[in-house]
Amino acid sequence: MTKLLLRALAGETLPTPPIWMMRQAGRYLPEYRATRAQAGDFLSLCYNPELAAEVTLQPIRRFGFDAAILFADILLVPQALGADLWFVQGEGPRLSTITSAADLSALKPADDVHETLSPIYETVRILAGELPPQTALIGFAGAPWTVATYMIAGRGTPDQGPAHAFKAADRSAFAALIDRITEATILYLSAQIEAGAEVVKLFDSWAGSLAGDDFDAFAVAPARRIIAALKTRHPGIPVIAFPREAGDRYVGFARATGADCVALDNSVDAEWAARNVQVDGCVQGNLAPHHMVTGGPDLKAEAQRITRALRGGPHVFNLGHGITPDADPDNVARMIEAVRSA
């Protein structure tokens, strides 16, 4: 029997949507924290195939999600291109910065990324052999704009100001950086698929800060190029795209990019999405992550409202963003029960 996630991504309307969660392997789980302590630090965990596979499997064992998503990080691609990458405890990632055409020229060619990223492919191979037969395996990468914002600023920023400034000051160099990331992302995701990923997802976490022609040039066009290349190399591979906080630009995004599913953040209403986005195919989302912290009757009511609103078409139930470290695992179980009983 075809896995539920693959059926939804193929456009099938199911009586109960498949369920998984962004960041489902993470700090809200005590077993994750124990495994990370064993690894020593976050990057060591990402690059240890046995331990990365273990943390990917932990939420599947605990909750029985319909899909597992590879445990890795979107900033491994910049590191593979030659950027320095480290994590500051309690603050997040830091990278060496790309602020000029000269910095860009010092990066490695896209073809060189496999040397650094080969442990990630081994993690995928382990998972492909160990996941339950009904559980789909999702690979992923950051979308080029979002990855570029970190490479330019050297860290996450509230408004992606450094990336917008670079784009305004030297658009050709900025476009060349987007091209380099796009090429590397195609190779990275293709290798994940060859290793056993059945679905891939593009996370454009900062897409919402792009407007007008810039959204078309740096959110839509790279996604379209990546998806077309993957589908040429791997016919039939489903792709989920997540242009977070795209607002009205969610409308038509699947048609513009070739994505099989558009993931929605929790700033858009599920009823609106049913009328305007789901008409083009599968949608994913979009429960607010704070419900995983607060729980209670609101959790059940909102999970069931979203499920019912999107019941008329293909739907993958998920959060509108990643689960937070302060979430209660018991609330995850309650969410799953609410969706499956809606």
Question: Annotated catalytic, 73?
Answer: yes
Question: Distance (Å, rounded) from C-alpha 312 to C-alpha 266?
Answer: 19
Q: Which two tokens stand for residue 67?
A: 């899909």
Question: Annotated catalytic, 94?
Answer: no
Cβ distance 65 to 20 under 8 Å? yes
Question: Annotated catalytic, 340?
Answer: no
Residues of 45-58 as b/e, b for ≥16 C-beta within 10 angstroms? bbbbbebbbbbbbb
Question: Distance (Å, rounded) from C-alpha 210 to C-alpha 204?
Answer: 11
The catalytic residue among 33, 36, 94, 305 is 36
Question: Distance (Å, rounded) from C-alpha 9 to C-alpha 12?
Answer: 7
Question: Distance (Å, rounded) from C-alpha 323 to C-alpha 62?
Answer: 15
The catalytic residue among 47, 121, 150, 188 is 150
The count of other CB atoms within 10 Å of the CB of residue 334 is: 18
Question: Distance (Å, rounded) from C-alpha 126 to C-alpha 54?
Answer: 9
Question: Distance (Å, rounded) from C-alpha 186 to C-alpha 175?
Answer: 16
- Find residue 204's DSSP bridge partners: 243
The catalytic residue among 7, 28, 32, 73 is 73
Q: What is the DSSP string of 246-303?
A: -GGGGTTHHHHH--SEEE--TTS-HHHHHHHTGGGSEEE--B-TTHHHH-HHHHHHHH
**Mind telling me the catalytic residues?**
23, 27, 36, 73, 150
